[in-house]
Amino acid sequence: KIKALRAKTNTYIKTPVRGEEPVFVVTGRKEDVAMARREIISAAEHFSMIRASRNKNTALNGAVPGPPNLPGQTTIQVR
């Protein structure tokens, strides 16, 4: 999914490592970074809802280095 999002938004996306804080580092043009950010947040909310739904059913049953900024590019962290 991240590979497709990189291609779709023309951004560089560094994914978090398991066990570390879930922070994505997104680099690219400002508007591309904003689009990637929206999609990452949307996916995170989707999976949070799935996780909450599973937890509810179970209960009833029992910093980051990235690429350098180039002119015209923006880097953000998405938590």
Read off the pLDDT of residues 37-67 as tens digits, 9 standing for 90 and up. Answer: 999 999 988 888 888 887 776 555 555 555 6
Q: What is the domain extent for residue 66?
A: 2-78
Read off the pLDDT of residues 1-46 as tens digits, 9 standing for 90 and up. Answer: 899 999 999 999 999 888 988 899 999 999 999 999 999 999 988 8
DSSP 8-state code for residue 79: -
CATH number at residue 25: 3.30.1370.10
Task: Quote the CA–CA distance of 8 and 40 in Å, as a whole number.
Answer: 13
Number of structural domains the chain divides into? 1
pTM (predicted TM-score): 0.67
